[in-house]
Amino acid sequence: MSRSLRKIARGVAFLGLAALSAAAHAQLDVANTIKKVHVEVTADGTVQRKLVAADRIIPGDELRYQLTFTNKGEAAIDAGTIVITDHVPEHTVYVDGTASGSDAQILFSLDGERYASPEQLLVERDGEQMLAKAEHYTAVRWVYAPALLPGESAEVAFNVRLQ
């Protein structure tokens, strides 16, 4: 084998390793945590909402899923390409107006396939089209607008109510 061929072979082997390590260690890490929304009415009638550990959940409780995604790689993730999708868990319904995420466009889905903003989600009832209600959403999607540089992270969240 000539020296040049050996060089190429080594190069191919190196490329192969690089591809493997990319698959094993994704650039993006996503962490999911759950909290319970604790509602307290104080003596003067003020309603206070705070997040507490979700170690006791019973029907009627409001739960918040927080998704934190972090660029753990060494290259920037392209602007507008991070698409986070989460499904409303079985036995729960989405709580209207609770999906949040700065710099992200928030879309919803009724079937887990087509995602759109709330004013574009229609259902048909008795032959008439009407806006879908929040409790009919089955999934939430965030399209994160900025690029995510190495080491940066961002957070999105949504609430559901246990039936």
Binding site for other proteins (CB under 8 A): 23, 26-34, 54-60, 63, 65, 67, 69, 73, 75-78, 81-87, 89-92, 148, 162-163
Closest CB 73 distance from other proteins, rounded Å: 7
Nearer to other proteins, 10 or 38 (CB): 38
Nearer to other proteins, 120 or 163 (CB): 163
Closest CB 72 distance from other proteins, rounded Å: 10
User: How many CB atoms are located within 10 Å of the residue 36 CB?
Assistant: 19
Distance of CA 6 to the CA centre of its chain: 46
Q: Name the region of 8 (left: φ>0; alpha: ψ -120 to 50; beta: rest).
A: alpha
Nearer to other proteins, 29 or 96 (CB): 29
What does the alpha-carbon distance between residue 59 and residue 163 come to, in Å, rounded to a whole number? Answer: 5
Closest CB 132 distance from other proteins, rounded Å: 21
Backbone angles phi, psi at 19, to 5 degrees: -60, -45
Residue 126, judged by CB atoms within 10 A of its CB (0-12, 13-18, 19+), counts as exposed
Nearer to other proteins, 73 or 118 (CB): 73
DSSP 136: G
Closest CB 12 distance from other proteins, rounded Å: 19
